[in-house]
A and B are shown apart, each in its own frame.
Chain A
């Protein structure tokens, strides 16, 4: 009895009980479909975020408060000193060297914007004049705010395309119109070009205004010591190859600013774009591991289902086993017959699950514009291999039981 004949036999056995076979496969189907969909979406998110970070601009460094420790995902706010306008001023001195092109701070919150009866929730970001150039993000009409606006903490705002669409559903020229941010009236002076991206990270759903206005008039940023907080400082380098030197300079300036002693650790973190991406990668890999565990449990349950049905099937077909043995089937013939049946069951479940998973990933891709779920071939191969292994693992016991049957008892079984 060769493998092909066993395979035919298994298909015959499975098609004889279609509904039962389908129900048995369901555990594996759901498990594999879940893995494929989730891993694909995870990959999509990763690619999206990577592209996003890369799209921020060139040769950027990110300075954030707190320490990024390796055992902890995300920044740990240590000491709470954070970053302030004074740090920004001190760092700005670095632009005198040829290595650093510009230093741009960011400070913002999410807020509700009202224009007449139109409302929109968006991210209000206070920043400086250098932002537009650094992010290569310019107004299509009107203009960006100026140094003058910064000095005077002017109530002027530059809006993104999505905000425009939400506040001006009927179109019209936004420049010169008034809006209210957290009940403070602002005048729109510019409309930004379209940056792209949508879904949960719409880069056009943004309002930019002078950082001084945000700190003083909108989201009070003054610390007890009188300093103004900022969330994040961008440093744009002239040359990527000088990155390490620039990071060293930034650290020197900030350690001095924060009076950090020789042996003490930084209370801030300087990240390059690559590091940012890899930090995010760590987060997604934890997520992926978590999904893997869930999928593993589901596959385990599916395997137990297969074992259960195979045991029932072996008992049901006791007489058949007896007859086969009477006409000359050896132990391994019977063993393989049932083992192949269990494996076909598991593999078929895996393939159906794979198909559903790919369809699921496609559906999610269609529903969201920004995510492009990527079907990972490693996950595909893994899912198939694992389902086959599950069939093997959970099929061995019932098959061994069948193969050990005594032909006399089996033939007499009612």
Chain B
């Protein structure tokens, strides 16, 4: 706890930067079908925002924002969204992951399909990054500190 009160500059900067980091992640996410970007990168940036928060404010504070149970559910839901889009295309008469059939017009269908799939990828990657960090950092906190 003592650390938190000393590093005044770090704490303020983190607080100021957080919205921009998350916003940038969303930009990378949704700009992915026009330029470089996409779910993987966006997810990692999004996760990095929370990891930075956890580093500066401590795991306890971060877990209040992102409860582990919730993150675990989000991780599964992102994957379900991805596979769900695949199934839906199949349901509409195309092949698995066929985006053309999602809308009347193949171009719009492709657009919608890739946006949804990348959203699924982004959420899963972000949740996984946060989980990986928490499960390593949280292990020390639970008193299993190596001697």
Do A and B pair up? The answer is no
Q: Taking beta carbons and an 8 Å cutoff, which residues of A are in contact with B?
A: none
Q: Taking beta carbons and an 8 Å cutoff, which residues of B are in contact with A?
A: none
